[in-house]
Structure 1
């Protein structure tokens, strides 16, 4: 109406348009903020079980609501936030990228990935050779074979009652086989550059926290070994998001020469698989007797994080999305989720991987006295986790088997919380972040909830027993182990000395 009234008056019209633009922009900002707030409130409050005392069972308090509303899918042996996000990424790859029509200007690497996917979706595959070959590749075969495998898996391995959708298997196979081609597809469509910069800042905060605790609070390591530990922490490389070369068309078109020797056929998936395996094997053999490059070995779509001892690198890969990474709006949630993950991976450089030096070389750089003290510290943690009984498995946690992961969990949560408090001091002058409206939780409490929330997970009994007997990680519910050892958690939730989440003088700490 205002524009009609202004008519053809040039300056007035421009002012009217400018005023409307500002109003529209303000409305968009408010709407986006409201949507984000709604997402956060739903993500936090829906997971909680308020009937549980957080000082008695913080895992059930944090995840009880999620566990009730998210039963394990019939085609899965367990279900949690990691698998949920993994499938979210897979669906994007499937519907928006791999199933999209090819076009003339498309990179050949991308075209090959689409052909491999389409051939995988063709279920008419026959004439398989020997049993061992068939069984080792059984997930690439027809449904007749897959149902036989399902019978075996249901009775022996995982307790699943239906098959994983074929598209999901196909997406995962293409991702794992043609890493950079699918990575390029995903980065072009979904990655935001500012996330990478924010993550790099967060990682530097975690590194600072580890070194700060090492220098100020570590009383069991001699000075020479401590100094070399500081040097190793400084030398850790963090590969964030994706490698720069993945955006280089020349690299993808020329340097991955083995890929272009493949002749994929949409009607011969098994043949395509054999070609791909041969290509990967040749690539692996080509690295024999060569120095290990400090380069990428994960796909940007990977929903996981890694520490590489031989290159002294951490890879917080495809986790730069909610509920792991919340951007600049709510740092307490980001530090509690992906911040702890980064700290966890950094700490891996100082558990069993302590035998590798800052350059990734196998080298006993620890003094004998520091090794002895380390073993004494870790025995406390072994005993602590041995006492945890997992009902789903009917077994106790194996403290020695899971030691490295437990050390990393305990170190990671300390490092991330210290880094978050430093961020509050440096970025906000010590003034706390605004509280979330409608949430009766302060930001320190949100930090610990965010840490627990990304570990919400449920298991079938068969999968739980398998996890205890052969897994390297403690069950997700024993995130309580790290928090019950941590004095800042006890302060944040006012846990009395008699509570389960306050181990007091029995608390275990390595880093």
Structure 2
């Protein structure tokens, strides 16, 4: 069973990364003549009052959110472009799978199974029957727990594997809380909006049970909703689940049994295939203990209904239009305010990428990834590394032992660019053309078995957590690596024809953000090899926590949606990455200027102004209010508006660049500006 846990990596959603720096523009860029979209600005707004609006205000007024999306912006457009590129591959495979060999046959058959709507409609709810029958046969707690630890079924306690905190070169089993159909806080927060979510969710449960042919759906929906509400009350919040030290509770079977005796831990771990693990990392231990008590107190029949509902809901997308529409109506329209479904081919690409992503990615790289980008990225990353080295070396609040350890971690930091050096072998994954739900279930089992095959071996540092066609980037604290997939290495986030100030302000800040995760409030707990260890003196740690607490306090005050604030502790790691990223990128740009010489004004803008405008325009975007509300409960990233305004007001060079003075709305006195890295 796959366990979703924050320890896997720090991923920066909507981040971009890219490539070369040139001395001067040589051709027209994607945005304007030199890389900044001047028409997007609202120059009626003072930069010191609202820098995001100054950089993006006219774009914001003129740009609607597409009906099938929760948000829009450069990241969304780049993802759309990547999907269009992947579509050309999948369409070819679906039409002539054999032309691409055995793996091409698998990919083509999988995608064609999704696109064959008449065949899906003809089957109706029949594909559910064997799985619901398996749930109906689970008439005791032993059988229930066997399903809990099996691939494809819901569970109040997830069992998986990850590199060990104490020894990241080897895997360990890990257990964590799970099993809710909504974000935890949707069950708990007061107010009409959340009352409406709860009412809609309870109705959705009944609808799924009814469509699945399960009798007495209304009463069962009441019981399932009550069960999940009780679970939510005991689960850790997303902010609490970022505390690595509290998550770090390795237990043997006896220890697990002592803390949560209601669960049959030998059965759970063996069913998950992880009985060889001497320890199980018991994350969110108090929640798991509470789930055990709830498991024992809840009738077996209610757990069966819970499993049946979640199986239907979790797989509704792979069934008929009626199931798919009901799932969309609740999860996209009600929770996120999205009016329309995405085109079916786009959703099919996402599903195929999830099942056979590296097989698709290998072809994506061959067709769409320019090899020169890798060489150019390496140069830019090393400029950022040198900037961080300089900033760490001069940080006045660090003592020498901590500084030495930080520099050792920076030196060991490993970037990975474009694509894996080796790809997953999917030959044992059985794909049956026309059996969509079966293909999805077999995909989950294939991935599970693949992970189990890796468990006894040392952790392979060449493995990737994202496919090459993914528009994103991430940092792994357990490996001290940053990864930039091929699909993100392109405009609009980087343009080889752009002014160097623009590339450093946009891409440089993004690369700096990912590097900064190694030194955020979570990453700072991991050493150069990825081991969870303390390399801080008490004095330096106190200084670090003083600064990070001040940054969290700033973000706590921001209210993107009326009645819902940013959670400073939940978003702290990403905010540290944003702040450190732009300051390191600015330092890297100063190194560039020292080597190549200063550049004059372009269209009346100084090089520093162009740098900060590029940063702000990289974070242009807008999100539907309901989607933003949900993100504020669970997403460790701040809204893009505050990823601009919340950051620049702490950067001294921004004040100078735009002559920001006391009385301007974003102005902070120097003593209140947070500087970490």
TM-score range, shorter chain: 0.7 to 0.9
Distance change in 2, residues 1:104/1:472 (3 Å): closer
Q: CA deviation at 1:495?
A: 1.3
- Contact 2:35/2:502, CA 8 A, preserved across alignment: no
* Residue of structure 1 equivalent to 2:287: none
Structure 2 residue corresponding to 1:333, chosen from 502, 518, 543: 502
Q: Distance in 2 between matches of 1:245 and 1:379?
A: 42
Tell me whether 1:193 sits opposite 2:358 in the alignment.
no
RMSD of Structure 2 on Structure 1 (CA): 2.1
* Residue of structure 2 equivalent to 1:286: 453
Structure 1 residue corresponding to 2:407, chosen from 191, 215, 230: 230
* Residue of structure 2 equivalent to 1:53: 46
Q: How big is each residue's C-alpha offset from its partner over 1:361-382, in whole Å with a ceiling of 9 and x where there is no partner?
A: 1111211222111111111111
Structure 1 residue corresponding to 2:575, chosen from 406, 415, 436: 406
Q: Distance in 2 between matches of 1:52 and 1:119?
A: 52
Distance change in 2, residues 1:208/1:302 (3 Å): same
Q: Distance in 1 between matches of 2:414 and 2:669?
A: 35
Q: How big is each residue's C-alpha offset from its partner over 1:228-248, in whole Å with a ceiling of 9 and x where there is no partner?
A: 1001011110011123335xx
- Contact 2:97/2:109, CA 8 A, preserved across alignment: no
Alignment of 1:128-147 (within 5 A): 128-129=128-129, 130-147=308-325
* Residue of structure 1 equivalent to 2:469: 301
Q: CA deviation at 1:403?
A: 1.0
- Give the TM-score normalised by the residue count of structure 2: 0.65
Q: CA deviation at 1:327?
A: 2.2
Distance change in 2, residues 1:481/1:285 (3 Å): same
Tell me whether 1:418 sits opposite 2:583 in the alignment.
no
- Contact 1:141/1:270, CA 8 A, preserved across alignment: yes
- Give the TM-score normalised by the residue count of structure 1: 0.85
* Residue of structure 2 equivalent to 1:315: 483
Q: How big is each residue's C-alpha offset from its partner over 1:45-71, in whole Å with a ceiling of 9 and x where there is no partner?
A: 232222211111011111222222221
* Residue of structure 1 equivalent to 2:112: 118
- Contact 2:494/2:503, CA 8 A, preserved across alignment: yes
Q: Could you list the runs of 5+ residues in structure 1 that have no partner in the other structure?
A: 1-31, 247-251
Query: Higher helix fraction: Structure 1 or Structure 2?
Result: 1
Structure 1 residue corresponding to 2:538, chosen from 368, 389, 395: 368
- Contact 1:110/1:185, CA 8 A, preserved across alignment: no
Q: Distance in 2 between matches of 1:155 and 1:183?
A: 31
Q: CA deviation at 1:109?
A: 2.4
Structure 2 residue corresponding to 1:463, chosen from 624, 627, 634: 627
- Contact 1:336/1:416, CA 8 A, preserved across alignment: yes
Between stretches 147-156 and 340-349, larger displacement belongs to 147-156
Q: Which has the higher contact order (CA 8 A, sep 6+)?
A: 2
Q: Distance in 1 between matches of 2:31 and 2:574?
A: 34
Q: Distance in 1 between matches of 2:35 and 2:653?
A: 26
Distance change in 2, residues 1:234/1:102 (3 Å): farther
- Contact 1:319/1:338, CA 8 A, preserved across alignment: no
* Equivalenced residues, count: 462
- Contact 1:122/1:269, CA 8 A, preserved across alignment: no
Q: Distance in 1 between matches of 2:112 and 2:495?
A: 34
Q: CA deviation at 1:265?
A: 2.8
Q: Distance in 1 between matches of 2:612 and 2:573?
A: 21
Q: CA deviation at 1:493?
A: 1.3
Q: Distance in 2 between matches of 1:243 and 1:191?
A: 13
